[in-house]
Structure 1
Amino acid sequence: MTHLNDMPGHLIRRLQQIAVAVFHAEVEATGFDVTPVQFAALVTVAAWPGIDQITLAGLIAYDRTTIAGVVDRLVQKGFLSREVSEKDRRARVLHMTPEGHAALGTLTPAVATAQDVMLSGLEKEEADTFLHLLRKATDAVNDLSRAPLRGHRKDGC
């Protein structure tokens, strides 16, 4: 029988738990209460001003059903504004507020530190290889996700 610590699913789950804990520790030190998904949404809206919620969900690989709740919380925090699209009255488009830009400016270095902590057990070359392999493995099974990554990525997304 295969040992648990030789199973990629088990190790990925453990690393995800650690990643979330490290993210929260670094972000809480900034005084903000933002989740990893909220941070991903902020980064993406900053890169794609006027993006609609459905496209946002695809670009951060988050399910369309619950992206509205993520956006609701960011609007309540004053980080995003949401308006009816002029092109499609059914769609809601998103923009960063000045408060959102300021929060992102504070959060980004903390999140970068969290990424460094997550990979601190690896040498630089190992970390680069690890990230390459994570992207390769994730891309290969993207369509098996209930929330696959969709659309084109821009730097930072």
Structure 2
Amino acid sequence: MRDNNEMPGHLARRFQQIAVAVFLAEVGEAGFDLTPVQYAALASIKANPGIDQATLAGLIAYDRTTITGVVDRLVQKNLLERRASSRDRRARELEITDEGKRTLRAITPAVEEAQRMMLRGLTPKEAAELMRLMRKAIAAGNELSRAPLRDAQA
């Protein structure tokens, strides 16, 4: 039987636990109540104004059925608005509010510090290599995910 530290799934899960804990600590210390997924959604909507929830789910590789709750919480926090789509009456377009834009600007230093802390045991060269290898492994396994990453044009 292999040691857990030799299993990529175990290491990925542990890194995810650390990443979420560090993100929540840094963002919370800066005075914000935002999860990593809420941040990713907000940043993606700012970069792609008017996208619908299904497209958002693909952009942040999040399950389409669960993205509704993420969007609901961002709407409740007045960071996001849902509007009826001009192209498809069944769809809802997502727009970041002025409060959402202010929040993104203000939270950025805490998010950047969290990213640095996640890699703090590595030299800059090692961190770059880890990021390269993670992107490579994720790209190769993307279609195996229940929530594959999709670009905005997909």
| Fold shared by both chains (TM-score > 0.5) | yes
Deviations 1:36-77 (A, max 9, x none): 100000110010011111100000000110111100100000
**CA–CA distance in structure 2, aligned partners of residues 122 and 53 of structure 1:** 36
**2:95 is equivalent to residue 95 of structure 1:** yes
**CA–CA distance in structure 1, aligned partners of residues 72 and 152 of structure 2:** 24
**CA–CA distance in structure 2, aligned partners of residues 73 and 141 of structure 1:** 30
**CA–CA distance in structure 1, aligned partners of residues 109 and 52 of structure 2:** 27
Deviations 1:91-141 (A, max 9, x none): 100111010001001111101100000000011111111001000000101
Write the letter of the residue equivalent to 1:50: G
Cα shift at 1:30:
1.7
Cα shift at 1:31:
1.3
TM-score by length of 1: 0.95
**CA–CA distance in structure 2, aligned partners of residues 151 and 43 of structure 1:** 14
Cα shift at 1:152:
4.2
TM-score by length of 2: 0.96
Percent sequence identity is 63
**2:117 is equivalent to residue 126 of structure 1:** no
**CA–CA distance in structure 2, aligned partners of residues 57 and 50 of structure 1:** 14
Write the letter of the residue equivalent to 2:135: R
Residue aligning to 1:50: 50
Residue aligning to 2:107: 107
Q: Over the residues paired in the alignment, what is the CA RMSD in angstroms? A: 1.0
Is the contact between residue 52 and residue 91 of structure 2 (CA under 8 Å) also seen in structure 1?
Answer: yes
Cα shift at 1:14:
0.7
Q: 1:53-72 to 2 correspondence within 5 Å?
A: 53-72=53-72
Residue aligning to 2:10: 10
Could you tell me which runs of 5 or more consecutive residues in structure 2 were left unpaired when the two chains were aligned.
Answer: none
Could you tell me which runs of 5 or more consecutive residues in structure 1 were left unpaired when the two chains were aligned.
Answer: none
Is the contact between residue 55 and residue 152 of structure 2 (CA under 8 Å) also seen in structure 1?
Answer: no
